[in-house]
């Protein structure tokens, strides 16, 4: 019992001490005397982001100290403003298209009167808005001759899957319709009250009579950094899927159980053609392990 108490107290100690430290840090960051410094450091981050998107290596380097240091993925350091400028210039030559970088400031804390640490998440988006590269950046900023500059940066690659966001499929919001010779399909998608799930409803009609209906819920799985969907059919069938994106194409790996107990697996393909049109197709289908021919692409149009 005594040992268990010691372990418990030892486990709680860092938590208690950490809370105390955070409180002191919060007071430091909210100090009115630091408002101007905070604004200047955030402006410094924006200046470097804007310079990156203009492919201006010299403008980026101008924000670093003469003897600054850059380390990426725990590799060999790059020393000095000139070498850092050359590194950016060489990197810009490798970029295809017009990708742009976004900087998200996660934390800013002051270490002394003239030094601060800035933690930033960087995302590089391609021409279609897709995140193609991502990284964490830890920056040591110092005040030099009255100006805040970058003295040292340590940067690590970050899994782009962590940037999957439900807003990437908010183009589904609205009412949609598709028709074949045999069936009419109506779909409606809307945000829930807190905008954390997209809720969809569908009906299938044959000769004006509803023969099938159901509900779909689309949400973010934060444990896997993935978009998932769940489908519940009016006849008792249900299923789920994981969404992955490739440009304007979304693939959904589907696993479902039909009302009769048989198991259906498939891949649903959504391709957004324009703001008012997308196609849907079921491929790689199998019922209880027996392959089924691919379906034909179905054109789905948005209704006013």
pLDDT digits (tens, 9 = 90+) for 279-292: 999 999 999 999 99
Same domain, 25 and 153: yes
Q: Look up the CATH number of the domain holding residue 84.
A: 3.10.450.50
In the block, tokens 């690590």 appear at: 156
pTM of the model: 0.56
Same domain, 267 and 173: yes
Q: Give percent above pLDDT 70 in the chain.
A: 89
* CA pair distance 243, 198, nearest whole angstrom: 14
Q: What pLDDT was estimated at residue 29? A: 52
Sort residue 195 into left (φ over 0), alpha (ψ -120 to 50) or beta.
left
pLDDT digits (tens, 9 = 90+) for 84-97: 999 999 999 999 88
Angstrom CA distances, 278 to 97, 124, 176, 251, 272, stand at 25, 26, 10, 13, 4
Residue 107 domain boundaries: 20-163
Q: Look up the CATH number of the domain holding residue 239.
A: 2.40.128.20
Does residue 182 carry a pLDDT above 50?
yes
Does residue 27 carry a pLDDT above 60?
no
Paired with 153 in beta bridges are: 70, 139
Structure tokens at 75: 């590799």
Q: Is 153 exposed, middle or buried (0-12, 13-18, 19+ CB in 10 A)?
A: buried
Paired with 186 in beta bridges are: 177, 203
Q: How confident is the model at residue 19 (pLDDT cuts 50, 70, 90)?
A: very low
Same domain, 171 and 274: yes
Same domain, 127 and 33: yes
* CA pair distance 190, 138, nearest whole angstrom: 39
- Asked whether residue 1 is assigned to any structural domain, the reply reads no
Does residue 271 carry a pLDDT above 70?
yes
From 96-100, 148-152, 232-236, 244-248, the region with the lowest mean pLDDT:
244-248
Q: What pLDDT was estimated at residue 93? A: 94
Q: Give percent above pLDDT 90 in the chain.
A: 69
Q: Among residues 122, 148, 163, which one ends one of the domains? A: 163
Structural contact between residues 101 and 49, judged by C-beta atoms closer than 8 angstroms: yes
Q: What pLDDT was estimated at residue 22? A: 35
Q: Is 126 exposed, middle or buried (0-12, 13-18, 19+ CB in 10 A)?
A: middle
DSSP 297: P
* CA pair distance 128, 126, nearest whole angstrom: 5
Same domain, 48 and 100: yes
Q: Among residues 163, 189, 213, which one ends one of the domains? A: 163
Q: Which residues of 94-123 are buried (b: 16+ CB within 10 A; e: fewer)?
A: eeeeebbbebebeebebeeeeebebebbbb
Same domain, 156 and 196: no
* CA pair distance 69, 151, nearest whole angstrom: 6
Same domain, 54 and 37: yes
Same domain, 159 and 172: no
Average the pLDDT over 239-244 and give the result: 92
Distance of CA 135 to the CA centre of its chain: 12
pLDDT digits (tens, 9 = 90+) for 116-156: 999 999 999 888 777 888 899 999 999 999 999 999 999 99
| DSSP H or E run through 21 | helix 2-29
Same domain, 48 and 156: yes
Q: Among residues 163, 192, 215, which one ends one of the domains? A: 163
Paired with 120 in beta bridges are: 105, 137
* Mean pLDDT over each residue of the chain, to the nearest integer: 86
When divided into structural domains, the chain yields a total of: 2
In the block, tokens 């040292």 appear at: 152
């Amino acid at each position: 019992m005594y040992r268990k108490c010691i372990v418990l107290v030892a486990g709680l100690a860092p938590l208690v001490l950490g809370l105390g430290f955070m409180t002191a840090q919060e007071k430091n960051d909210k100090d009115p005397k630091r408002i101007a410094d905070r604004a200047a450091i955030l402006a410094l981050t924006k200046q470097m982001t804007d310079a990156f998107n203009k492919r201006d290596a010299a403008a980026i380097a101008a924000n670093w100290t003469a003897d600054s240091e850059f380390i990426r993925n725990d590799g060999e350091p790059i020393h000095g403003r000139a070498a850092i400028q050359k590194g950016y210039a060489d990197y810009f030559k490798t970029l295809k298209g017009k990708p742009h970088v976004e900087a998200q400031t996660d934390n800013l804390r002051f270490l002394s009167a003239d030094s601060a640490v800035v933690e930033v998440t960087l995302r590089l988006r391609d021409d279609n808005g897709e995140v193609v590269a991502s990284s964490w950046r830890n920056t040591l900023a110092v005040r030099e001759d009255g100006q805040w500059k970058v003295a040292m940066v340590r940067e690590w690659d970050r899994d782009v899957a962590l940037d999957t966001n439900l807003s990437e499929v908010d183009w589904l919001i609205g009412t949609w319709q598709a028709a074949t010779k045999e069936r009419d399909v109506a779909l409606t998608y809307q945000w829930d009250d807190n905008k954390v799930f997209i809720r969809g409803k569908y009906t299938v009609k044959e000769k004006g009579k509803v023969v099938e209906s159901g509900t779909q819920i689309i949400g973010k799985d934060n444990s896997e950094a993935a978009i998932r969907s769940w489908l519940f059919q009016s006849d008792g069938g249900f299923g789920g899927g994981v969404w992955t994106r490739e440009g304007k194409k979304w693939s959904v790996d589907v696993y479902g159980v039909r009302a009769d107990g048989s198991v259906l697996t498939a891949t649903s393909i959504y391709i957004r053609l324009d703001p008012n049109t997308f196609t849907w197709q079921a491929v790689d289908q199998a019922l209880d392990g027996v392959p089924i021919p691919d379906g034909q692409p179905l054109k789905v149009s948005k209704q006013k």
